[in-house]
């Protein structure tokens, strides 16, 4: 039960973080009628965010999302480098961030616009590819879980502290 609650809390933190990132990237401009319009230009991996999620986000926050997709980091990097679009939010894998910084293709993130950043797990922040999270924030993380039937391995589960304990027998 605690694990399920932890997963729910983690999902809520990630959702709030993404919302904060999306909203902090929204540009504003005036339309000819003097009304303020908001648009958010997102460049993301193919099939990462369902169309319905984008539509609900647009409805809830009054933002027009211009959503473009790519299938590899290299494709994304090439398109941005060639001037194929200006994006408020681009999803990139860790190894691409330094290349984008070096080419002046990415701006620093204002972490004060992301109040829930403080709730992220230390393992996912301040990575070697972006010390201090100056240019990026973690979007996803993963863990590996393993179910154990103690009767089938003949070990008291309280003795299992690491993976190697599953294969080590006295």
18-77 pLDDT, tens digit per residue, is: 444 544 444 444 333 444 558 999 999 998 899 999 999 999 999 999 999 999 999 999
| Residue 118 C-alpha from the chain's centroid | 15
Note the pTM of the prediction, 2 decimals.
0.62
**Residues paired with 27 in a beta bridge:** 39
User: What b/e readout covers 34-62, taking b as 16+ CB neighbours within 10 angstroms?
Assistant: eeeeeebbbbbbeeebeeeebeebeeeee
89-123: per-residue pLDDT in tens? 999 899 999 999 999 999 999 999 999 999 998 98
Q: Cβ distance 133 to 153 under 8 Å?
A: no
Q: Which residue shows structure tokens 């010390």?
A: 131
């Amino acid at each position: 039960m605690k694990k399920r609650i932890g997963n729910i809390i983690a999902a809520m933190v990630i959702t709030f973080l993404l919302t904060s990132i999306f909203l902090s990237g929204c540009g504003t401009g005036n339309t000819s009628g003097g009304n303020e319009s908001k648009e958010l230009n997102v460049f993301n991996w193919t099939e990462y965010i369902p169309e319905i999620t984008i539509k609900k986000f647009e409805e809830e926050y009054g933002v027009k999302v211009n959503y473009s997709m790519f299938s590899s980091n290299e494709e994304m990097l090439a398109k941005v480098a060639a001037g194929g679009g200006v994006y408020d939010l681009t999803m990139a894998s860790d190894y691409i961030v330094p290349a984008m910084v070096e080419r002046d293709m990415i701006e620093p993130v204002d972490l004060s616009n992301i109040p829930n950043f403080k709730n992220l797990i230390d393992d996912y922040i301040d990575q070697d590819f972006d010390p201090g999270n100056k240019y990026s924030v973690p979007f996803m993380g993963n863990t590996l879980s393993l179910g154990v039937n103690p009767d089938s391995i003949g070990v008291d589960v309280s003795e299992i502290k690491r993976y190697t304990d599953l294969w080590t027998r006295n």
